[in-house]
Amino acid sequence: MTELYPNAPTGPSRRSALRAAGAGTLLLGTGLAGCRSAVSEASAGSRSESSGPRRGGTLQVAVNSDFTPALLFSQSGQSLQHRLIYNTLTRYDDRLSPKPELAESWTYADDGRSIALRLRDDVTFHNGRPFTADDVVFAVKNLQNPLRAAQLRATAEAVTGFEKRGDHELVLELAHPVNNLFDLFEFMVISDPESVEDAVTGRKLIGTGPFRLTRWSPGSGLSLERNDHYWRPGRPYLDGVELRVIPQADALISSLRSGQSQLSFNVPGKNLGALENDTRLRVKDYDTGGGAVYLGVNTTVAPLNDRTVRQALARAVDRDRLLEQALGGYGLASSAPWPKSSPAFSESHRTHYAHDPGKARELLRSAGHTSLRLPLLHVALPGETAIAESIQYDLEQVGVRVTLEPTDPATAQKKLISQDMPALWAAGHGFAQVQPSTLAVSAYPFNEAKNTSRYRSDRYTEVVREAWTKREQTPAAVNALHEGISRILLDEAFIIDLVVRGQVQVSAAGLHGATLNKFSYLDLDNAYLV
């Protein structure tokens, strides 16, 4: 048995993000915005150090789409509030080392077939009920329920047995080893079993987190107040949090500049440059690679069932131009889904599909096509529309006429889950920032068993399953498995990755201590306003 007693939790990496200083030029941590943000943060930090964290105040957070209760147990663009209301068992540091949250420590069996958890015994839910091992059992079984549409359902289903050793010790028995169990522990919010059906309709959201729900106004947002019985002494500092829906980019930016909002992760990339010189605001890029922009392809729609046609589309898109013009230079142009922090990252994979309209037209001709007409679905929000229009322009240069089909975020997510996408779609994905196998067994666009593109391959399944279930391997063997997954993704091009990016945070200079976990759940345990 291998016994682990991790240190106290830490926040996400504060490393400077990759910025594009002009189309095609990528700099690590040397963009002007990074310098301005660092100076502003250092100045604000020096002020706060002299006075220390302050209690009180309500943080106003601007979001561009409403909370969707039906997606509570999946990860989506509407997951920002999860960590405010709920806790998770563990949390990764920036090196993917798990740290304690509701699980104080753990003992992993040498054969990878079980893990013993020691849970905190001083935690209560918002309704006053004590947190126990039964709540962890419920959380796992809840994600095993296909109605929850949880991306990490396959990992939850690997848990086949539960052995309670008291109210705060629990052994999870596994059908087979998995190398992403701690991805599950950070993804899985611990909710109150007695009110879970009320949670997925938005009537009650009862967790153990630092804030409790006071009101959800559909279409307007969420109101949260401090949980005075939170298990972390003296936390949170804030009295409350208001998440307000502001879908229009101009109104969102005005809200930040006027101080009506102090935090947002939804400023469209092309608008970020206008905020970088505002001394009242700070722009910060989370260098976790927690998100990516991609072009999805339905492989059951002719002629997209031809790999050659899909490869032509992959060469047609100018990733550097999209990064600079639609995303404000925040991110990393890439043909593969992996951020630089991932063990699966490879520079050759990142640059595999260079922008080459001539080669794209040649590939289309070889497949018997000189022109095509295809629909492209996208979310009708300013940032997503700019991405879709950039893709539309590039595809038209090689003879592929694209009709844009705007839709709302909730509908897009449901279509993604149900495999009901049209020929093409532009969207974002996560899950490349954690264990590489998680992307291919969990994320809807990449899932080897059932993905949105309806792509199936025995070889893909074989490589993914081997990478997922082999816990102890030599570094060379692990690299070979990662290489195998990447090679299939690039060759088959059923998902065409374009830009890897983390969340870009715009905040008031007086806000300190706001962080994100690996799944972009907002953590305000240590946040305060000055």
The single-letter code of the amino acid at 357 is P
What pLDDT, on the 0 to 100 scale, is given for residue 49?
Answer: 46
Instruction: Return the minimum-mean-pLDDT range out of 136-140, 286-290, 343-347, 410-414.
Output: 286-290
Residue 485 zone, left/alpha/beta (φ > 0; ψ -120 to 50; rest): alpha
Question: How far is residue 185's CA from residue 156's CA, in Å, rounded to a whole number?
Answer: 10
Mean pLDDT for 404-409 is 95
pLDDT interval class at 289 (50, 70, 90): low
- Cβ atoms of 290 and 337 within 8 Å: the answer is no
As a whole number, the mean pLDDT across the chain is 89
Question: What is the per-residue pLDDT across 461-476, written as a single tens digit (0 to 9) for each?
Answer: 999 999 999 876 788 8
Mean pLDDT for 469-495 is 90
Mean pLDDT for 60-75 is 91
Question: What is the per-residue pLDDT across 416-453, written as a single tens digit (0 to 9) for each?
Answer: 999 999 999 999 999 999 999 999 999 999 999 999 99
What pLDDT, on the 0 to 100 scale, is given for residue 287?
Answer: 64
Percent pLDDT > 90 in the chain is 79
Q: Is the pLDDT of residue 377 over 60?
A: yes
What pLDDT, on the 0 to 100 scale, is given for residue 12?
Answer: 35
What pLDDT, on the 0 to 100 scale, is given for residue 424?
Answer: 98
What pLDDT, on the 0 to 100 scale, is given for residue 13?
Answer: 32
CA-to-CA dists, residue 93 to 8, 98, 183, 186, 469, angstroms: 10, 6, 12, 11, 23
Question: How far is residue 32's CA from residue 47's CA, in Å, rounded to a whole number?
Answer: 23
pLDDT interval class at 288 (50, 70, 90): low
Q: Is the pLDDT of residue 316 over 60?
A: yes
Instruction: Return the minimum-mean-pLDDT range out of 123-132, 265-274, 297-306, 354-363.
Output: 265-274
- Cβ atoms of 293 and 319 within 8 Å: the answer is no
- Coil, helix or strand at residue 508: strand
CATH 3.10.105.10 positions along the chain are: 291-501
What pLDDT, on the 0 to 100 scale, is given for residue 290?
Answer: 73
Could you tell me which residues come within 8 angstroms of residue 509 by beta carbon, excluding any fewer than 6 positions away? 40, 43, 44, 279, 280, 281, 282
Question: What is the per-residue pLDDT across 200-255, written as a single tens digit (0 to 9) for each?
Answer: 999 999 999 999 999 999 999 999 999 999 999 999 999 999 999 999 999 999 99
Question: What is the per-residue pLDDT across 91-141, written as a single tens digit (0 to 9) for each?
Answer: 999 888 999 999 999 999 999 999 999 999 999 999 999 999 999 999 999
Of the two residues 10 and 457, the one the predictor is more confident about is 457
CA-to-CA dists, residue 520 to 92, 223, 253, 321, angstroms: 12, 19, 21, 26
CATH 3.40.190.10 positions along the chain are: 1-285+507-530
Q: Is the pLDDT of residue 41 over 60?
A: no
Mean pLDDT for 481-506 is 95
pLDDT interval class at 20 (50, 70, 90): very low
CA-to-CA dists, residue 63 to 77, 321, 344, 388, angstroms: 10, 26, 32, 20
User: Span 1-285+507-530: which CATH code?
Assistant: 3.40.190.10
Q: Is the pLDDT of residue 11 over 70?
A: no
Q: Length of the chain in residues, anyone? A: 530
Mean pLDDT for 319-344 is 94
Could you tell me which residues come within 8 angstroms of residue 340 by beta carbon, excluding any fewer than 6 positions away? 18, 289, 332
Mean pLDDT for 157-167 is 97
The architecture that CATH gives domain 291-501 is Roll (3.10)
What pLDDT, on the 0 to 100 scale, is given for residue 240?
Answer: 98
Q: Is the pLDDT of residue 388 over 50?
A: yes
Question: How far is residue 216's CA from residue 302's CA, in Å, rounded to a whole number?
Answer: 44
